[in-house]
Chains A and B, each alone.
Chain A
Amino acid sequence: MIAGEKTAVDSKQKIRTRYKGVDPSELEVIPAIATDEIALEERKLKVAAYVRVSTENDEQTSSYELQVNDFTDRINANPNWEFAGIYSDEGISGTELSHRKGMLQMIEDARAGKIDHILAKSIARFARNVVDCLSVIDELKKLGVGVHFDENNLYTLDTTGALVLTILATVAEEESRSKSFIMNWSIERRFSKGIFLTPKLLGYDVDENGELVVNPEEAETVKVIYDLYINGWSTTEIAELLTSYGRKTKLGNEVWNPTSIDGVIENERHCGDVRSRKTYTPDFKTHKSVKNRQNRKQYIQRNHHEAIVSRDVYNAANLLKSSHQYTAKSRPLPVLSVIDGGILTGYVPVDKNWSGFSTEDYQAACESVEVPSDDVKVTGRRLNMGGYQLVRPEYFPSIERPAMTISNGKLRFNTACLKKFEDVEYVELLLNTVKNCIAIRPCEKDNPNAIHWGKLREERWVVSTLGCKGLSRTLFDLMRWEDEGQYRFSGQYKAQGDNKLLIFELGEPVITKTVEQIVVPEQPDEAEEEEQQEEIVIREKVRVFPDSWRTSFGVPITAIVHASVLEQHHYAGDWDVLRPATELEEMNIFTADHLDQLMKEAETIMEGWTKTA
């Protein structure tokens, strides 16, 4: 044996000797505290049970009672167990944890050490949501609390339990999903056959056949709500009125709130129609129902039952309701009208917030009056300026020039506008869809269309930015604007004696918009090629001029003046700027007279009521 081999053998021997260990009698053992194992446990266990039934109907109630009794007996019968209580959720779905007060209380008590062991009938009773089920069991496990499921004889503190549990919880969730599917299918079938769900509704009773029949007493309340609302009453005012008369809600309450008024106005069943599936539940786990904005199929049956209010009244009230900005000021339903004389002939008064009239409505109103053509007599010599264009004043920026800006549903006039009108705080906006012009004229504060465009503060005019969703929608549609951004229009002030007027031509707005440019900075020479330079987004405001500005300096003079001499033609007739607009009876469902009639109807009904407060 050579020297090297001998050393190796010695070293192996040493290792063997070391691993033989010491004499066990020389060692002292400190035993580990055994984990809770039900069979090994000697001290009395605090045992609780969890019970859940999903609906509150009688059959399930008996099941619930059975479960409760069974668990109570079992816990009491076991001498090693101490009864720690029955935790229960009745009539509550197992898909979401947050609603289950019993379960939450149980977890809380487990944390407080009041429970050592939990009994449950099945995983499906415990939870129908895999994530929730496993996370609850996991939390209990960390607290040393085990759950025993009778159905599968599964114990969560067993090592084999975890995998089985996951599978079974998934099955439970799947079962819930399929139940939800079946319910949806059933509802869909019912609705498609015109079998509607008819929950309780103010104004109606349900007869023995399930049909809606008018309840005359309640129907009075419904009528008054609609009549007043269309006449510009706010929901708060109506609620206060009904409360003061002690009118009862469907649930028998005598206190009304604006939301319940909203509910009545919105419900199509008051005009005899039924619409199915106004809400739906997108997730069977959360149970949150959301408004059905054509996410699910809807069914409407017209004239399903006797109406309390006419469809016109219902539609008008809901039109009014959809224009929040408009109703915020308690104004009655707007009426389409047009000015049929004076310098503003053909202009239609517009409420900037009202979105109930379509662009076509405005166009029809505007075109309903004939605008007389201006004949200009030309005499004598004229200077031929045929080739000339009048240079656009917009090329010469000036704060003295009136301007109107529309952007993002907001309207703003510059101080120059206010200065031109001198002492006018409220103005009315009129639209001419033939000339594509907006006119602004002074008006009284109580005009329903009144725009409070600014006020004098310390002898200086301060302008306000105003919402104008309805107007902006109409203009974008009318002028086929697509760009986002600020649309700015130069105004033309016209005055003759007391007649004051601003005209904004819509044809050539200057659009200011923000454009984003992505720039990759140039790489310095020494930079490695792989090193990607970060992109920089540059936001820049750009002004976009109308196309025609690129090809000309202005409009041909011949287009402005009839004679070829630059003598601007002014309206020759009586300006009559403040002439009231005439209602277009054929174009309005409701004229002012109709609104009056509805108001009278409400008053007549209310005469029969007695005040309680």
Chain B
Amino acid sequence: MNEEHVKDTREELVSAREEKRQEIARAFNPNRMKVIRKELFANLRDPAVTIRDGNITFNTACINGLEDVVYVNLMIDEELGFLSVTGCDENDKGAIRWCVAKPDKRKSRKMRCPDFTDGIYKLLGWDKKCRYKILGYQIPFEGKVYYVFDLNVFQIFNEKPKKGEEPVDEAGEVQEVDTRKGYYPEDIANTFGVPMEQYKKETAVTDMDGYVTMAMFTGAEREDS
């Protein structure tokens, strides 16, 4: 009896689970789902660029993503706020060295460019006391690899204040600035991502008059663009 009882219970359980599954399946509507932003997950090993007032740095993950590339072309779409990078020849027009190249390995490099970052901060209305980290999307296309960074989706970090510019509290005490903790702007922090339908639409790689748009890969094409 005991055995029967166990068997019954198991069957009941299975049927209950099946019922639940069917219930969920019935309720599941991909169009109601959102694709969670990868920015919301730990992203230490993801390709990223950090922009500071005065210099920009591509992280090691980014550099490793473009095999053997030492010189890059940096491209910017001011309207969309996209930064893109791709490998090029040392002597190509616009070639910039993005890493420290040693015989055995390539290392991340702080690229000094005060006049460039000046323009970026102005373009995006950023705060010069902060640094901005942007995750990159790798796009292989016709044998060439591109990284695209959507400068509108960033993680913001406080920079160590300069001497004499440290913030003070009401009592006049110098406050510690946490330079390690990153924040997202509200519109990113308060949502999980974009609805599935929009994501699908945006990421469908289609040929339009023979052109493939970069935004299709990143899922961030603006509606007005």
Sample 14 A-B pairs with CB under 8 A, ordered by A number.
A380-B142, A381-B142, A384-B211, A385-B84, A388-B82, A391-B73, A391-B76, A393-B94, A395-B113, A396-B116, A552-B78, A565-B141, A566-B88, A567-B144
Q: How far is the CA of A446 from the CA of B97 in the complex (A)?
A: 37
Q: How many A-B residue pairs have CB under 8 A?
A: 101
B112 contacts A397, CB within 8 Å? yes
Contacts A387-B80, A494-B91 given: A566-B116 contact, CB under 8 Å? no
Contacts A389-B78, A390-B93, A560-B93 given: A568-B88 contact, CB under 8 Å? yes
Contacts A398-B97, A568-B92, A568-B93 given: A390-B74 contact, CB under 8 Å? yes
Contact partner of B96 (CB less than 8 A), chosen from A391, A420, A567, is A391
B75 contacts A390, CB within 8 Å? yes
A58 to chain B, nearest CB (A): 82
A391-B73, A391-B74, A565-B142 known, 13 other contacts, Cβ within 8 Å:
A381-B207, A382-B212, A389-B75, A395-B115, A396-B111, A398-B97, A420-B91, A492-B91, A564-B211, A565-B141, A565-B144, A566-B75, A566-B88
Q: How far is the CA of A474 from the CA of B74 in the complex (A)?
A: 34
Within 8 A of A (CB), among B111-144: 111-113, 115-116, 119, 141-142, 144
Within 8 A of B (CB), among A413-466: 420
* B77 interface residue per 8 A CB criterion: yes
B212 contacts A553, CB within 8 Å? no
Q: How far is the CA of A381 from the CA of B76 in the complex (A)?
A: 21
* B3 interface residue per 8 A CB criterion: no
Q: How far is the CA of A566 from the CA of B113 in the complex (A)?
A: 23
Contacts A392-B94, A396-B112 given: A381-B75 contact, CB under 8 Å? no
B84 contacts A388, CB within 8 Å? yes
Chain B residues with CB below 8 A from A420, complex form: 91
Q: Mark A341-370, 1 if CB is under 8 A from B, else 0.
A: 000000000000000000000000000000
Q: How far is the CA of A107 from the CA of B89 in the complex (A)?
A: 84
B76 contacts A396, CB within 8 Å? no
Contact partner of A396 (CB less than 8 A), chosen from B84, B89, B113, B211, is B113
A383 contacts B75, CB within 8 Å? no
* B4 interface residue per 8 A CB criterion: no
The range of chain B's interface size is 35 or more
Contacts A388-B84, A568-B88 given: A396-B213 contact, CB under 8 Å? no
Chain B residues with CB below 8 A from A387, complex form: 77-80, 82
Chain B residues with CB below 8 A from A388, complex form: 75-77, 82, 84
> Chain B residues in contact with chain A, CB under 8 A?
73-80, 82, 84, 86, 88-89, 91-97, 111-113, 115-116, 119, 141-142, 144, 146, 207, 210-214
* A77 interface residue per 8 A CB criterion: no
A553 contacts B78, CB within 8 Å? yes
Contacts A393-B94, A396-B111 given: A384-B212 contact, CB under 8 Å? yes
B53 to chain A, nearest CB (A): 14
Contacts A389-B78, A395-B113, A565-B142 given: A381-B93 contact, CB under 8 Å? no
B123 to chain A, nearest CB (A): 8
A557 contacts B112, CB within 8 Å? no
B88 to chain A, nearest CB (A): 7
Q: How far is the CA of A560 from the CA of B73 in the complex (A)?
A: 12
Contacts A391-B116, A495-B91 given: A383-B77 contact, CB under 8 Å? no
Chain B residues with CB below 8 A from A552, complex form: 78
Chain A residues with CB below 8 A from B93, complex form: 390, 492, 560, 568
* A554 interface residue per 8 A CB criterion: yes
Grouping DSSP codes into helix (H, G, I), strand (E, B) and loop, the B interface class, with mixed when no group exceeds half, is strand
A419 to chain B, nearest CB (A): 12
How many A residues touch B, CB cutoff 8 Å? 35
Q: How far is the CA of A581 from the CA of B213 in the complex (A)?
A: 46
A541 to chain B, nearest CB (A): 15
Contact partner of B119 (CB less than 8 A), chosen from A492, A494, A553, A557, is A553
Q: How far is the CA of A113 from the CA of B84 in the complex (A)?
A: 97
Within 8 A of B (CB), among A533-581: 545, 549, 552-554, 557, 560, 564-568
Q: How far is the CA of A549 from the CA of B115 in the complex (A)?
A: 10
**Max chain B C-beta neighbours (<10 A), residue from A381, A393, A554:** A393
* A493 interface residue per 8 A CB criterion: yes
Q: How far is the CA of A547 from the CA of B141 in the complex (A)?
A: 35
A557 contacts B97, CB within 8 Å? no
* A108 interface residue per 8 A CB criterion: no
Chain B residues with CB below 8 A from A398, complex form: 96-97
**Max chain B C-beta neighbours (<10 A), residue from A385, A493, A552:** A385
B212 contacts A381, CB within 8 Å? yes
Contact partner of B94 (CB less than 8 A), chosen from A381, A549, A554, is A554
- Measured CB to CB, the nearest residue on chain B to A510 is B115
* A400 interface residue per 8 A CB criterion: yes
5 closest cross-chain pairs (CB), A and B: A395-B116, A384-B211, A391-B74, A387-B77, A388-B75
**Max chain A C-beta neighbours (<10 A), residue from B80, B88, B116, B212:** B116
Q: How far is the CA of A549 from the CA of B116 in the complex (A)?
A: 10
Q: How far is the CA of A553 from the CA of B210 in the complex (A)?
A: 27
**Max chain A C-beta neighbours (<10 A), residue from B93, B141, B214:** B93
B95 contacts A393, CB within 8 Å? yes
Chain A residues with CB below 8 A from B119, complex form: 553
B72 to chain A, nearest CB (A): 10
Q: How far is the CA of A278 from the CA of B213 in the complex (A)?
A: 73
Contact partner of A400 (CB less than 8 A), chosen from B75, B86, B97, B112, is B97
Chain B residues with CB below 8 A from A566, complex form: 73, 75, 86, 88, 144
Contacts A389-B76, A390-B75, A566-B86 given: A383-B214 contact, CB under 8 Å? yes
